[in-house]
Amino acid sequence: MLTAHKALWWESLDEAQVICKLCPRHCRIGKDTYGFCGVRKNIDGELYTLAYGYPVALQADPIEKKPLLEFMPGSRVFSLGTFGCNLGCVFCQNDQLSRGHYDEARQYDYFSPARIVELALMHGCKSVACTYNEPTVFAEYAIDIAKEAAKNKLAFVLVSNACITLEAAADLFPHADAANFDMKGFSENFYAEMTNSHLRPVLDAIKYFYSLGKHVELTNLVIPGKNDDDNMIHAYLDWVEQELDPTVPLHFSAYHPACKCNIPPTAATTLRHIRDTAHERGFDHVYLGNI
């Protein structure tokens, strides 16, 4: 049987309901029900995480696959992910994990934070990454893995959508050495229509991570007709220039039809146009992916 782990970042509303404060959704969760992410459950009036210790994806990768091209280049990173996500992206490229759920009657292999680090060392990795699905939804586990990694002189990496409350970010982000954040599309309308969430908390979280002096790279999955408009790209570049730094590495990746989205794939010419636009504005650390 899967063993639930007591969650952080929540409070009781009454004898039956709790409110989760991990991400900006602030899910109100009744007894024996789950938050939007599908991995945080109200058990007898207390909030638990089902994801702690139960990764469903483990892999030693080149760090460039995260993608992190300017952090420990040429090294290997031990990557892990669980089920669950706090966004509802209709274009999700990995919905088997993000929309997957644990079967509480099934036996899953348990991997303690120390075991994750042991595996990373066995595979010759220099870092550990919480990736594949959204690390925010297993933040308790991520923090404990990060602490074990630090004890063993391994770097700790997040690949995240940055949809997290600043309260939870203050506990998680200081443990990370680097992050690649997914910038889904630089407009509130895009976030509402395509991800069932909001842009502002994402921007606030990225700014907070950057303010800690950590290594940041940003990835934008470019979807034709949705977030590839020149005005949106310029607004995105304006924000990076004004709130972060034009030397922050920017990744623009081609979308391919997935999940509930059947829009045709992104043309390579579109990505090259965006790269040229960024170069013309003085952004010299621009990379294209999935082409």
pLDDT in tens, 224-253: 999 999 999 999 999 999 999 999 999 999
The predicted model gives 196-201 an average pLDDT of: 97
CA atoms 196, 172, 81, 107: torsion sign: negative
Q: Is the pLDDT of residue 93 over 80?
A: yes
Q: Is there a single domain that holds both residue 130 and residue 36?
A: no
Q: Is there a single domain that holds both residue 236 and residue 256?
A: yes
Q: Is there a single domain that holds both residue 223 and residue 88?
A: yes
Q: Is there a single domain that holds both residue 85 and residue 147?
A: yes
Q: Is there a single domain that holds both residue 83 and residue 187?
A: yes
Q: Residue 95 — very low, low, confident or very high, per pLDDT cuts 50/70/90?
A: confident
The predicted model gives 93-97 an average pLDDT of: 86
Q: Is there a single domain that holds both residue 22 and residue 151?
A: no
The predicted model gives 151-168 an average pLDDT of: 98
Amino acid at 33: T
pLDDT score of 45? 96
pLDDT in tens, 20-32: 999 999 999 999 9
Q: Is there a single domain that holds both residue 62 and residue 45?
A: no
Q: Is there a single domain that holds both residue 148 and residue 38?
A: no
pLDDT score of 258? 86
**Residue at token pair 């991570």:** 209
Q: Is there a single domain that holds both residue 128 and residue 9?
A: no
Residue 9 domain boundaries: 5-49
pLDDT score of 112? 98
pLDDT score of 61? 96
Q: Residue 126 — very low, low, confident or very high, per pLDDT cuts 50/70/90?
A: very high
Q: Is the pLDDT of residue 145 over 90?
A: yes
Structural domains counted in the chain: 2
Q: Is the pLDDT of residue 1 over 90?
A: no
The CATH number for 113's domain is 3.20.20.70
The predicted model gives 10-14 an average pLDDT of: 95
The predicted model gives 212-217 an average pLDDT of: 98
For every residue of the chain, DSSP letters joined together read -PPPEE-SSEEESSSS-EEE-SSTT--EE-TT-B-TTSSEEEETTEEEES-TT--SEEEEEEGGGTT-SSSSTT-EEEEEE-S--S---TT-S-HHHHT----TTS------HHHHHHHHHHTT-SEEEE-SS-GGGGHHHHHHHHHHHHHTT-EEEEEE-----HHHHHHHGGG-SEEEEE---SSHHHIIIIISS-SHHHHHHHHHHHHTT-EEEEEEEE-TTTT--HHHHHHHHHHHHHHS-TTS-EEEEE---BTTB-PPPPPHHHHHHHHHHHHHTT---EEEE--
CA angle centred on 106, ends 103 and 112, rounded to 5° = 95
pTM: 0.96
Q: Is there a single domain that holds both residue 61 and residue 163?
A: yes
Q: Is there a single domain that holds both residue 44 and residue 64?
A: no
Q: What percent of the chain has pLDDT over 90?
A: 93
pLDDT score of 102? 96
Q: Is there a single domain that holds both residue 164 and residue 132?
A: yes
- In a 13 Å sphere around the CA of 35, the CA atoms on its Cβ side amount to 33
Which residues are registered as beta bridge partners of 6?
48
